[in-house]
Amino acid sequence: MSDRVVVIGGGPGGIEAARQVADLGLPAVLVEQRERLGGTPIFANYAALTPYFANAEEAMDAMIAELAQRGRAEVRTSTTVTGLSGEAGAFTVELSTGERLDAGAVIVATGFDHFDPGRERQIYNYYQYPDVLALQDLEAQLKEHKVVVPSTGRPPASICWVQCVGSRDRNIGNEWCSKVCCGIASKQAIEVRKLSPETRAYIFYIDMRMYGYWETQLYWPAQEQYHVQYIKGIITEVLERGDRLIVRGEDTTMGRPMEVPMDMVILSVGMEPSAGTKAMSDVLGIERNRHGFIEVINPPLDTVTTSRRGIFACGAALGPADLEDTISSAGAAAGKAVALVRRDNLAVA
Ligand SMILES: Cc1cc2nc3c(=O)[nH]c(=O)nc-3n(C[C@H](O)[C@H](O)[C@H](O)COP(=O)(O)OP(=O)(O)OC[C@H]3O[C@@H](n4cnc5c(N)ncnc54)[C@H](O)[C@@H]3O)c2cc1C
Ligand code: SF4
């Protein structure tokens, strides 16, 4: 039997899960495939985090520093898991570095990938036009405290966000709502208006889905303080005309076609199961749901227990999640993993 908990994925979910396992008194090993911890907020260059506009890098560094203080949590970067044998309470975990670890439980925190807006259909011309960006591309600019049209290097006179790109789209098989993109677009629009007050900002949406307090923290301030224009409409294509982009679609409130010239278009891309999430579900022998995220066996009352006893999951590996969801499920996964290991050890004693 082993009381060690192996956590796979060093994003916010994995860091929090490892910290909580250590706080609950058991040894944790956090395995991250990249060279450093921090997950998508770090490697995708997020600037400020919703809803409080905290600096993403500082927030992740604070989490990593807290984890480092826990003597019981060990970090293995540039490493992944290649095999698993045994059973709950007595697993053997094989690492890509050739080592083997015994573990009582495993937590999967392998996160999400951004939808690739050029993958299925080319209606937004993401790969053709330099001034069509995705959310994370604008995050990288915001991190540098600038907003410029890539083709000119000048601030845009007009910018718009196109919502639900790669989400809620049965044609491409991504039926889910990605949950965060309405809030992220609103947050970015506020930041753009702060950095460049002359820029006119528009958000084209099917319907705005602002969860919980994000309504008052982001949606209303965006309109009332920063004069971001929300337009209910479906965008069907982005074209180039002269040196401007043309956003074409239907204004669904007015029930008529629309064609709006823009300097810059931001595609609000959704969240998909990461390649690592898919790979780890195969390696660990746990089920994925029909959307490709990790399946839990008893929702909504148990949000972290997977189909194989002793293996739990948290964060965006389970489906679209913001940081609050991620931290909450990481705590739940850590608690259940520790309880299971203690119970199994107790049963043997
Ligand atoms: C554009 C955009 C902006 C966002 N901004 C915000 C925001 O401002 N506020 C907010 O609350 N939420 C935001 N989110 C959501 C937020 O990014 C997620 O909630 C959060 O990153 C989920 O954390 P995670 O640890 O589950 O996954 P991730 O952050 O994706 O981390 C997963 C980690 O697992 C690692 N990994 C994957 N596979 C393996 C493997 N096989 N072996 C080892 N390691 C592996 C990856 O390298 C990565 O480090 C945003 C999302 C998007 C799309
Ligand atoms: S959060 Fe908003 S933009 Fe994202 S998929 Fe849901 S409705 Fe569409």
* CATH assignment at residue 156: 3.50.50.60
Question: Reduced to 3 states, what is the DSSP secondary structure of residue 113?
Answer: strand
Residue whose Cα lies nearest atom 16 of ligand 1: it is: 322
The finding on whether 209 has its CB within 6 A of some atom of ligand 2 is yes
Q: Which of ligand 1's atoms lies nearest the C-alpha of 283?
A: 41
pLDDT at 124: 93
Q: Would you place residue 299 in the very low, low, confident or very high pLDDT band (cuts 50, 70, 90)?
A: very high
Are residue 280 and residue 326 in the same domain, yes or no? yes
209 in the same domain as 256? yes
Please tell me if the CB atom of residue 4 comes closer than 6 angstroms to any atom of ligand 2: no
Q: Is the CB of 167 under 6 A from ligand 2?
A: yes
Give the model's pLDDT for residue 80. Answer: 98
Verify that 161 and 251 share a domain, yes or no: yes
| Structural domain count, the chain | 2
Atom 7 of ligand 2, nearest CA residue: 209
Q: Percentage of the chain with pLDDT > 90?
A: 93
Domain end, chosen from 270, 286, 319, is at: 270
- Whether the model clears a pTM of 0.95, i.e. scores above it, the answer is yes
Q: Looking at ligand 2, which atom is closest to the CA of residue 168?
A: 5
Q: Which ligand is nearest to the CA of 163?
A: 2
Q: Which domain holds residue 285?
A: 5-111+274-348
* 263 pLDDT more than 80: yes
- So what's the pLDDT on residue 89? 96
Shortest-distance Cα residue to atom 1 of ligand 2: 179
Looking at the structure, tell me whether residues 232 and 190 fall in a common domain: yes
pLDDT category at 59 given cuts 50, 70, 90 is: very high
Residue where a domain stops, chosen among 270, 285, 317: 270
Looking at residue 346, its pLDDT comes to: 66
- Ligand 1, atom nearest to 80 Cα: 42
What is the DSSP secondary structure assignment for residue 118, as one 8-state letter? Answer: T
Q: Are residues 217 and 140 in the same domain?
A: yes
Please tell me the distance between residue 84's alpha carbon and the centre of ligand 2 in angstroms.
36
- pLDDT 10s digits, 192-247: 999 999 999 999 999 999 989 999 999 999 999 999 999 999 999 999 999 899 99
Compute the distance between CA of residue 129 and CA of residue 140 in angstroms, rounded to an integer. Answer: 18
Query: For atom 4 of ligand 2, which residue has the closest CA?
Result: 181
Q: Is 17 in the pocket of ligand 2 (CB under 6 A)?
A: no
